Amino acid sequence: MAVKVDLPRKLALEVLLRFEKSGAERLKADSLIQDALAREQANLTEQDRGFVYALCMGTLRHWLRLDEWIKLLTARPLKNITPPVRVMLRLGLFQLYGLSHVPAYAAINTTVELAKAQKQAPKTVKFINAVLREAQRRLEAGGFEIPPVETDLPRYLLLTSGWPEVWARQLLERYTQQEILQMAEVSQVPVSLSIRVNTLKIAPNAYLDMLKQASIEANQVSDLPECIQISGLSGSPRQLPGYEEGLFYVQDPSSMWVSHLLDPQPGESVLDLCAAPGSKTTHMAALMQNQGAISAIEPKKDRLALLTENIDRLGVGNVTCLQADGLLFEPAASLYDKVLVDAPCSGSGTFRRHPEILLHLKKLNLDAYRKQQLSLLQKGFACLKPGGAMVYSTCSILKAENHDVVAQVLATCPDAALEKEEQRLINENADGFYAARILKMPV
């Protein structure tokens, strides 16, 4: 007799198993979830879809913390538990801890039924049931023991926020304990959706009126007039008014700040050395009022297609897309007035929106990123006119990817001058971001 298991939990298991098997691959949780939901679109309610999203994102956000609980509850190394069982235990534990609307009995029973449906051996099913019932008992008795923050901050952050210990130690080299704890606190709160109104097609106030007419709660950000933050939206942003018409682009406020720092003007020539998927490329085009020229560089064919799609949807007319390796790019004619190097990085400032990044930060190795970042920054500076300005940016909060990279270029380029540098921390409404504006002094 077939075991009946609810579809949302089954889909969540399928998605999360990909992260057990991914190796070094940088998977995107949101894309995997959307693919899973699309396969079962006819069989899922809107509530089901939201539940799948909550299960996957919540389990990923607390993945490392849940692993510590599993080790405490089972008194065995994780490697001695098979990947499907590890994921089912995480799913059950997250529901017990992180989803108050799911009763404890439901969290346990549905996980047990999921194990049966996965054809786990009876002794394994009993093992899962016993572990989750012991977790329930401990949580009801006050939870798991956590060391004092003063004596072991990395361990404290692992057990309270799911942050990798090696990453926390890196943060301690740059930030105060208070700054780190503030970021940890806000990172537990879901961030609101931020969109950039496409001023090539509509004024921010006019689009804000459209949202209000659709009974969507939204507020304009005071220091970024094209930025609107939306509360209480469930489901895809594509359901907002004007998506297909290109009236907006989903973008974090900190990301929008980068284009303003570069300050491209109508009529200028601009190089975007790391352009896809196009958030900053299309923002710069709007700031330039579609006047002047932007060269957008992207080496990967699939990402170039996404960049082109966003450019077309938003009505951008002053961008030329080039499939090329930014490190090998050579200007066809003259140098550029402005250059943007939004470099590949660890993504450590964006884990609230992309919690899967925490899994990559568990084994923090920045050498490959730093080498690429430095080379891209040097290439961007070589493409810049004397008297021009370049912005180097990352969505990282790690000094090694930010200040240290810029400092190395400044030390080796006598005509480079740092005009402004700012590290933005993770806060209530925005991701962590870094940007530096560098001038090329006339000889």
Instruction: Enter the DSSP assignment of 431.
Output: -
Q: Is 274 a catalytic residue?
A: no
Residues 150, 155, 160: CA angle, nearest 5 degrees: 95
Residue 422 CB partners (closer than 8 Å, separation 6+): 261, 434, 435, 436
- Sign of the four-CA dihedral 43, 47, 49, 51: negative
Instruction: Enter the DSSP assignment of 24.
Output: T
Q: Which residue has the tokens 């509850």?
A: 73
Beta bridge partners of 390: 339, 438
Burial (Cβ within 10 Å: 0-12, 13-18, ≥19) of residue 290: middle
Please count the other Cβ atoms lying within 10 Å of the Cβ belonging to residue 316: 24
Catalytic residue among 321, 345, 395, 413: 395
Q: Is the peptide bond before 266 cis (omega within 30 degrees of 0)?
A: no
Burial (Cβ within 10 Å: 0-12, 13-18, ≥19) of residue 116: middle
Q: For residue 8, what is the enclosing H or E element?
A: helix 7-21
Half-sphere exposure of 24 (CA within 13 A, CB side): 3
* Helix %, strand %, coil % of the chain (to 5): 50, 15, 35
Query: CB–CB of 218/228 below 8 Å?
Result: yes
Q: What is the C-alpha to C-alpha distance for residues 291 and 268, in angstroms, rounded to an integer?
A: 8
- Residue 3 CA: distances (Å) to CA of 114, 117, 118, 119, 120: 8, 5, 9, 9, 12
Classify strands 248-250 and 293-298 as parallel, antiparallel or unpaired: unpaired
Query: CB–CB of 61/359 below 8 Å?
Result: no
Please give the radius of gyration of the chain, using alpha carbons only, rounded to the nearest integer: 24
Q: Encoding tokens for residue 442?
A: 């006339």
Hey, which residues are catalytic here? Answer: 395
